[in-house]
């Protein structure tokens, strides 16, 4: 099959550690011809073919992630038109059989619709954000005034996007239930669950390796390291995280290591500089390979989601923690099922992200029981979040039961 993938995040090549690159490689491994369209802020619009034989069409565009909301909206709106033009140029003469749109912020809706109509391609939407409602939940977008015009534009686009998709793959059961519950015209049989997935790597360390990594990053050898890695923006509710860390300042057994970047990074930086907590370290984002090695030297992974979310998010960072054999503490809104899966799967703890005291209790449970849950996390990952499973699910729903290229 000739397949067009579309990504909102920049992908340099299909080996670069980007979450969905694993899925691209899995399709390529089964013999499919792959084109991937991805935005870039560097260089120029071009097409490169990497060592796996994946054709990556890099579309020069303005910044979308970790930027102000006005600039983000403008750059989202310009990306689609540029992408259609780039794919037509660099995949000239290619007739696509399948479009896999890995969707955040409804990006590439017009791209998918265009090539579906032109080629008769199957349009498979892998839904990663429920936008624009997620932006409304945390006051990044309003429903009135000037932003209300933007909201109504994207809401109309969302409805059309779902209608145009032949299949919609959701990250979790709660995700699927939300989509069906808020889109009455959407046929249940075309909405399924295709979880986030990876091709796990062995990142385990022996004791000497753990000690060396901790020394490298200035982490204590004698404390339980709670680590958060990823976006530090509005969705994580940074002011609440600051409250939780401030309440833990006297906890001599726990150390909190936060890595990432985002629009709210400065608030954490200010807290560290002002309060000078002895058990908190803040760093900018690491390259993927370094990040995975660092995780294996820590003890507990942290997830944070703003309590105001009504949409059930499912953070992909969870899989990195599980790969490293870390149990997970999820501090989230009540609507996501990620915390439920963690608790029922036996590899972590959850609390709601509106109670500092509840977070403290969860930390104490992790300090007491963490050693027992790390290996459970690895087993659960291999049972539920393997990229091969995602591949088979997608191929099953488009009617290719054997999963091989045609």
pLDDT at 404: 44
335 Cβ contact list (under 8 Å, min separation 6): 174, 178, 309, 310, 311, 312
**How far apart are the C-alpha atoms of 175 and 193, rounded to whole Å?**
8
DSSP-derived pairing of the beta strands 348-352 and 328-332 = parallel
153 Cβ contact list (under 8 Å, min separation 6): none
Same CATH topology for 2-199+386-397 and 207-383: the answer is yes
Provide the residue ranges of all domains of the chain, joining segments of one domain with +: 2-199+386-397, 207-383
**How far apart are the C-alpha atoms of 115 and 84, rounded to whole Å?**
8
Pairs from 29-34 (Cβ < 8 Å, separation ≥ 24): 30/391, 30/403, 30/404, 30/405, 31/404, 31/405, 32/1, 32/2, 32/3, 32/405, 33/1, 33/2, 33/3, 33/94, 33/405, 34/3, 34/5
pLDDT at 260: 92
Both tokens assigned to 3: 């397949």
Both tokens assigned to 244: 């939780």
E strand spans, 111-163 = 122-127
**How far apart are the C-alpha atoms of 202 and 219, rounded to whole Å?**
22
pLDDT at 401: 47
Burial class (CB in 10 A: 0-12, 13-18, 19+), 341: buried
DSSP-derived pairing of the beta strands 280-283 and 300-304 = unpaired
From residue 194, alpha-carbon distances to 268, 354, 394 in Å are 34, 29, 8
CATH of 2-199+386-397, one of 3.40.50.2000, 3.30.1440.10, 3.90.45.10, 3.40.109.10: 3.40.50.2000
Element (H, E) at 222: none
**How far apart are the C-alpha atoms of 332 and 302, rounded to whole Å?**
10
Backbone φ, ψ for residue 259 (5° rounding): -130, 140
Element (H, E) at 399: none
User: How is 180-197 classified by DSSP, letter by letter?
Assistant: HHT-TTS-GGGEEE----
CATH T-level topology, domain 207-383: Rossmann fold (3.40.50)
pLDDT tens for the chain, residues 1 to 406? 999 999 888 888 888 767 789 999 999 999 999 999 988 887 788 998 988 899 999 998 766 665 566 666 666 677 888 889 999 999 999 999 999 998 766 778 888 888 999 999 999 999 988 988 999 999 888 888 888 888 898 888 888 888 888 999 999 999 999 999 998 888 999 999 999 999 998 898 999 999 999 999 999 999 999 999 999 999 999 999 999 999 999 999 999 999 998 889 999 999 999 999 999 999 998 888 889 889 999 999 999 999 999 999 999 999 999 999 999 999 999 999 999 999 999 999 999 999 999 999 999 999 998 777 889 999 999 999 999 999 999 999 887 544 444 3
pLDDT at 70: 65
**How far apart are the C-alpha atoms of 168 and 179, rounded to whole Å?**
9
């Amino acid at each position: 099959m000739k397949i067009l993938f579309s990504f909102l995040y920049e992908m340099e090549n299909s080996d670069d550690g980007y979450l969905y690159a694993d899925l691209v490689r899995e399709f390529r491994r089964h013999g499919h011809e792959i084109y991937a369209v991805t935005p870039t802020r560097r260089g120029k619009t071009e097409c490169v073919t990497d060592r796996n034989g994946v054709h990556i069409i890099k579309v020069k565009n303005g910044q979308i992630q970790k930027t102000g909301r006005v600039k983000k909206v403008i750059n989202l709106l310009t990306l689609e038109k540029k992408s259609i033009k780039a794919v037509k140029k660099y995949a000239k003469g290619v007739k696509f059989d399948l479009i896999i749109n890995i969707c955040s912020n409804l990006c590439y809706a017009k791209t998918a619709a265009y090539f579906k109509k032109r080629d008769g391609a199957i349009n498979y939407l892998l839904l990663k954000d429920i936008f624009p409602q997620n932006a409304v939940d945390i006051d990044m977008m309003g429903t009135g005034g000037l932003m209300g015009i933007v909201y109504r534009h994207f809401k109309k686009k969302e409805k059309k996007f779902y209608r145009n998709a032949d299949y919609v793959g959701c990250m979790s059961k709660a995700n699927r239930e939300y989509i069906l519950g808020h889109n009455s015209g959407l046929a249940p049989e075309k909405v399924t669950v295709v979880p986030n997935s990876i091709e796990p790597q062995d990142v385990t360390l022996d004791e000497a390796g753990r000690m060396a990594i901790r020394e490298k990053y200035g982490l204590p050898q004698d404390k339980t390291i709670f680590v958060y890695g990823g976006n530090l923006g509005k969705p994580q509710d940074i002011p609440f995280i600051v409250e939780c860390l401030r309440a833990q300042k006297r906890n001599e057994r726990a150390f909190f290591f936060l890595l990432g970047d985002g629009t709210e990074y400065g608030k954490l930086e200010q807290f560290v500089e002002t309060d000078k907590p002895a058990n908190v370290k803040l760093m900018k984002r690491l390259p993927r390979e370094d990040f995975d090695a660092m995780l294996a030297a820590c003890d507990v992974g942290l997830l944070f989601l703003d309590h105001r979310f009504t949409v059930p998010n499912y953070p992909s960072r969870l899989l990195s923690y599980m790969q490293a054999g870390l149990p997970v503490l999820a501090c989230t809104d009540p609507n996501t099922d990620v915390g439920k899966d963690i608790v029922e799967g036996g590899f972590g703890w959850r609390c709601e992200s509106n109670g500092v005291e509840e977070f403290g209790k969860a930390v104490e449970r992790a300090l007491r029981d963490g050693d027992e849950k790390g290996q459970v996390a690895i087993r659960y990952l291999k049972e539920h979040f393997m990229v091969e499973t995602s591949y088979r699910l997608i191929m099953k729903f488009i009617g290719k039961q054997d999963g091989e290229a045609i």
